[in-house]
Amino acid sequence: MKEKRIYLVGNPNCGKSTLFNQLTGLKQKTGNFSGVTVEKREGTLTLDDSEWIITDLPGTYGLGGIAEDKKIAYEVLLSRKPEEQVIYVLDALNLERGLQFLLQIIDMGVPTLVVLTMKDVLEKKRIQLNLEKLKKSIGLQFVLVNAKSGEGIDTLKEVLKNPNSFQKRPRIWTWGTKEESFLTTAKRKLGITTNEAEFFLSQSLKYLNKDPHLSEERYFAKFPEETKTWLRSAVEGKGYHFYYQEEMIYRSFLIKKVLADVITYPKSVPGSWEEKLDRILLHPILGFVCFFLLMGLLFQSLFSFAELPMDLIESGIANLQSFVESFLSEGLFKSLVTEGIIGGVGSVIVFIPQIALLFLFIGILEESGYLARASFLMDRIMGKFGLSGKSFIPLLSSAACAVPAILGTRTIENKSDRFTTIMVSPLVMCSARYPVYILIVGTVFSFPPIFGIFNVQGFVLFSMFFLGMIASFGFALLFRKTVFKEDASYFVMELPRYNVPSIKSLFHTVYGKVKSFLSTAGQIILYISVLLWFLSHFPAEYKNNEWKTSPIESSYIGTIGKVMEPAIEPLGFDWKIGISILTSFAAREVMVSTLAVLYGSEENEEGESLRSTLRTETRADGSLVWTPLSGLSLLVFFAFASQCMSTLAVTKKETGTIFWPIVQFLYMTILAITSSFLIFQLGKILGFS
344 annotated binding-site participant: no
Give which of 412, 384, 320 is closest to 65, Cα–Cα: 412
Tell whether the torsion through CA atoms of 319, 322, 325 and 330 is positive or negative: positive
Residue type, 2: K
59 annotated binding-site participant: yes
Tell me the C-alpha distance between 417 and 388, whole Å: 7
58 annotated binding-site participant: yes
Q: Taking the mean position of all CA atoms in its chain, how far away is CA 178?
A: 46
Half-sphere exposure of 317 (CA within 13 A, CB side): 25
Q: Taking the mean position of all CA atoms in its chain, how far away is CA 292?
A: 22
Backbone φ and ψ of 560, nearest 5°: -60, -45
62 annotated binding-site participant: no
Instruction: Please state whether beta strands 112-117 and 85-91 pair in parallel, antiparallel, or not at all (unpaired).
Output: parallel
156 annotated binding-site participant: no
Residue 579 contacts by C-beta under 8 Å, 6 or more apart in sequence? 532, 557, 560, 561, 564, 594, 598
17 annotated binding-site participant: yes
482 annotated binding-site participant: no
Tell me the C-alpha distance between 77 and 60, whole Å: 13
56 annotated binding-site participant: yes
C-beta of residue 613 within 8 angstroms of C-beta of residue 599: yes
11 annotated binding-site participant: yes
57 annotated binding-site participant: yes
Task: Count CB neighbours of 126 within 10 A.
Answer: 11
Q: Residue 392: left (phi > 0), alpha (psi -120 to 50), or beta?
A: alpha
543 annotated binding-site participant: no
Residue type, 380: R
89 annotated binding-site participant: no
112 annotated binding-site participant: no
468 annotated binding-site participant: no
38 annotated binding-site participant: yes
24 annotated binding-site participant: yes
Give which of 571, 528, 591, 522 is closest to 669, Cα–Cα: 571
Tell me the C-alpha distance between 395 and 378, whole Å: 11
116 annotated binding-site participant: no
Q: Residue 582, exposed/middle/buried by CB under 10 A (0-12, 13-18, 19+)?
A: middle
C-beta of residue 204 within 8 angstroms of C-beta of residue 219: yes
Residue 224 contacts by C-beta under 8 Å, 6 or more apart in sequence? none
401 annotated binding-site participant: no
Separation of first and last alpha carbons in the chain? 69
Which residues on neighbouring strands pair with residue 47, listed in sequence order? 50
Alpha carbon distances (Å) from 133 to 92, 140, 257, 262 = 14, 11, 12, 6
* Binding-site positions: 10-17, 21, 24-25, 35-39, 56-59
* Binding-site positions for Mg(2+): 21, 24-25
* Binding-site positions for GTP: 10-17, 35-39, 56-59
